[in-house]
Amino acid sequence: MNFEIISPSKSKDSLGKELIQACKKYPSSDLALFQAGYHELCRLDLNGKAALEVCGGFGELAFRLARTFPSAKVTGLDLYVPEQPTKEGWLAQCPNLSYVAGTAFDLSGFAPNSLDLIWGQAALHHLAHSTGELSQEAIRVLKPGGRLVFIFEPLGHNLLVAAIRAMRMSLAEMVDESNLFLSQIKKLAVSFSSCQVQVFNLLGYPMKAFGDRIPFITNLAEQADAVLFETFPALRQHAANCNIVLTK
């Protein structure tokens, strides 16, 4: 299994209007991360293929991917079937879109080798207590060459970031949050042919409080992080956030 930690350069490829629209809700300090993550979702043409979002919440990202690839079969999965798609008319707009109730640990509703893409956003750190079960199900239902992608995940190797994150979680009484560690990601990846961890936000994370209000600071922090990650690769594991791309 090929395992690499990289600091991706900004993608110059167009995400398409739907995924560009999806990026608009995020703060400038996280924009590069979401752009890179969404680029992974549309890096390959999904028309005529099948994609599944796990832990999809109210399902907007599944809707936007279904609109981007109108000939793809896109399914959104969460513990409960969301009401938002019906209220917003998404299902009427996208005959290739559906939503089901379930968990990422039990994909028995999907046949072996039936999916080309599985993805989740801010999902893996809620599932990492059972990486073996998660990996087993994903490997079973993905086609050869299929990908498992997780976007916007928290890394826990940086003590300053962990302290700031713990303070924020305590103030907000967020009981269902935790950090990820490379050891957990490697356990998840053991049955895959490759795993790429894309890292973001080193100096950028403690600067978020200022950078989200002053774009100049965001740009400066991104440039500094890019130089540090390139010059000192060992610093990459101390990034605050990551995207994870696994290939069967």
151 or 168, greater pLDDT = 151
The count of other CB atoms within 10 Å of the CB of residue 159 is 9
Give tens-digit pLDDT for 40-65: 999 999 999 999 999 999 999 999 99
**What kind and span of H or E run contains 131?**
helix 131-141
User: Which residues contact residue 157 at a Cβ distance below 8 angstroms, ignoring those fewer than 6 apart?
Assistant: 181, 182, 237, 238
Residue 11 reports pLDDT greater than 80: no
Give tens-digit pLDDT for 68-111: 999 999 999 999 999 999 999 999 999 999 999 999 999 999 99
Q: What per-residue confidence (pLDDT) applies to 78?
A: 97
Q: Judge whether 198 and 245 are in contact, CB under 8 Å.
A: yes
12-30 mean pLDDT: 86
CATH 1.10.357.10 matches 2-247:
no
Residue 30 reports pLDDT greater than 80: yes
Residue 9 reports pLDDT greater than 90: no
Residue 215 reports pLDDT greater than 90: no
Q: What per-residue confidence (pLDDT) applies to 13?
A: 67
Q: Judge whether 30 and 152 are in contact, CB under 8 Å.
A: yes
**What kind and span of H or E run contains 220?**
helix 215-231
- The proportion of the chain whose per-residue pLDDT surpasses 70, expressed as a percent, equals 98
Average pLDDT of the chain, as a whole number: 93
Q: Judge whether 230 and 7 are in contact, CB under 8 Å.
A: yes
Q: Where are the domains of the chain?
A: 2-247
User: Which residues contact residue 141 at a Cβ distance below 8 angstroms, ignoring those fewer than 6 apart?
Assistant: 52, 107, 110, 111, 112, 113, 114, 115, 118
Beta strands, E only, 48-141: 50-54, 73-78, 97-101, 115-121
Q: What per-residue confidence (pLDDT) applies to 181?
A: 97
Is the whole model's pTM more than 0.75, yes or no?
Answer: yes
Residue 12 reports pLDDT greater than 80: no
Label residue 211 by pLDDT band (50, 70, 90): low
